[in-house]
Structure formats: C-alpha cells, structure tokens
Amino acid sequence: ELKVEQNPLFLSMQEGKNYTIYCNYSTTSDRLYWYRQDPGKSLESLFVLLSNGAVKQEGRLMASLDTKARLSTLHITAAVHDLSATYFCAVDYTGTASKLTFGTGTRLQVTL
Amino acid sequence: AAGVIQSPRHLIKEKRETATLKCYPIPRHDTVYWYQQGPGQDPQFLISFYEKMQSDKGSIPDRFSAQQFSDYHSELNMSSLELGDSALYFCASSPGLAVDTQYFGPGTRLTVL
C-alpha cells in the first residue's frame, strides 16, 4: 500500500524566515505534485515534478524531487503571511495519472 | 479561464437519504476524478473516468456509484447516507490520462445529519 507522509504536520514560522517541508513516499514513482489548500477551499496546483532531479520554482516556493530517495521537498524562502495555507504533496504511482495519493498535509502558519 | 464546476456547493441530508453530486469538467477535458476529504484529512481518491469509461477505483463504498456522460460531465450518486459521509467532495478534471496535472473544482460540502 502506498504511503505518503509529510513533515512537519504543522509549521508556524515568522515572516522573512526560510523553511522546508518534506514529503516521503513508500513506492516507486516519478510523478509528484504539490497542491495548496486554503481553509474550506479547493486544491490549487503548485508544481508538477515528473522526473528524478526535477526542480521547479515559483515566487518564494521551490520544489524538488529525488525519486531514488522517494523524497520531495517544498522550500519556502522569506515567508510572507499570504503563504499561510495547508500544503499537500500527492503521488501518482499508477504511471497513468489516473489517481493521486495525497500526503498528510502540512499546515503552514506565517506570523508577523 | 473556465474551471471545473461542481453542484451543488452545499448539501444537507438526513441519514439513509440519497444524494447526487454533479461535476462539469473544464471544456475539452475528457477525464474526471472524484475525491473525498473528511474534516482535517487529506483527500482520498474515490473513482475516475476516462472517455466515459471507469479508469480507476479507490476507496469508494459500495453505496456510492458514479458515471461519466456523453458530454463528459460526471455524477456521483450516494445512497443510504451515513454520518461518516459528511465531507468535502472534490471533482477534478484533466485533458486525458498521463497528463501533467489534475484541476480541482471548488468542492461540494455534504453534511449528513
């Protein structure tokens, strides 16, 4: 059974600080996705990582994928309050993107 | 840009009642996915359809059924509702399988009393 674990589950950080969220998964996959969810809202696609060593950056967020270690990271640089949300990684292990298995989620709170 | 449309957005039902959730994918998207997200939980995959055929199945209870119609919209039918079915139900769509990403709709919040 595929397991996708994130840590930390909850992260409180000050504005301007850097931090990394980790996503570990148990079964081989070379497709990993990051989503953002605001409370009670839908899931917004942030990054799609499709190969080993893939790195993508958008604004203050940067995601990377190491398929050999079965690990993805989401790095936050100089956090701002607007980044407060829950971040999910999701893995497609079918190879056909027919379903995603989501991680446990990391609730990020950025304080002034 | 057009997004995934779900209706209704909110639904309140009694135990043992039935509910039908509808999903209208982004135009020219032929693949639809359904997910269930309980309070404070991560989304759980239920079922997906590609070109009107079921493509994959997850943890969908036998009380639930779903289909995709000729215009690619999808409906999730839920019978004998239980309190534990209270959740956010998301539909996502994509332009075919094995594509870059799934685009999620706003969700339907189902409350079972």
Question: What mean pLDDT comes out for the span B6-18?
Answer: 97
pLDDT of B89: 97
Domain assignment of residue A99, yes or no:
yes
Burial class (CB within 10 angstroms; exposed 0-12, middle 13-18, buried 19+) of B75: middle
Q: How far is B68 from chain A (nearest CA, A)?
A: 15
Compute the distance between CA of residue B61 and CA of residue B112 in angstroms, rounded to an integer: 16
Cβ–Cβ under 8 Å, residues A70 and A23: no
Is residue B99 pLDDT above 80, yes or no? no
Question: Residue range B95-106: average pLDDT?
Answer: 83
User: For residue A86, what are the domain limits?
Assistant: 4-107
Rounded Cα distance between A62 and B61, Å, is 37
Residue A98 confidence (pLDDT): 72
pLDDT at A66 over 90: yes
Q: Give the residues across from B66 on adjacent strands.
A: B76
CB contact under 8 Å between A99 and B98, yes or no, is no
Residue A84 lies in a domain: yes
Q: What is the mean pLDDT of residues B23-29?
A: 95
Q: Is it the case that residue A91 has pLDDT exceeding 70?
A: yes
CATH number of the domain enclosing A11: 2.60.40.10
Nearest to B97 among A33, A48, A97 (CB): A97
* pLDDT, tens digit (0-9, with 9 covering 90-100), for A31-62: 899 999 999 899 999 999 988 889 999 999 99
Of B88, B97, B106, the CB nearest to A98: B97
The mean per-residue pLDDT over the stretch B90-104 comes to 85
Say which of B45, B55, B101 has its CB closest to residue A33: B101
**In chain A, how many domains are there?**
1
Whether a cis peptide bond, with omega within 30° of 0, leads into B8 is: yes
Upstream peptide bond of A8 is cis (omega within 30 degrees of 0): yes
Q: Which residues of A touch B (CB under 8 A)?
A: 33, 35, 40-45, 48, 50, 88, 94-105
Q: Does A93 fall in a domain?
A: yes
Residue B98 binned pLDDT confidence (cut-offs 50, 70, 90): low
- The nearest alpha carbon in chain A to B54 belongs to A98
- Kindly state the average pLDDT of the residues B57-73: 95
Cα distance between residue A13 and residue A77, in whole Å: 11
Q: What is the pLDDT of residue A96?
A: 67
Is residue A37 included in any domain, yes or no? yes
Tokens of B80: 């004998």
* Calpha distance B18→B85 (Å, rounded): 11
Please answer yes or no on whether A102 and B99 come within 8 Å at the CB atom: no
Greater confidence (B98 vs A88) lies with: A88
Q: Identify whether A112 is part of a domain.
A: no
* Residues on chain B bordering chain A, Cβ-to-Cβ distance under 8 angstroms: 31, 33, 35, 42-45, 48, 50, 55-56, 58, 88, 90, 92, 94, 97-107, 109
Domains and CATH numbers, chain B: 5-107 (2.60.40.10)
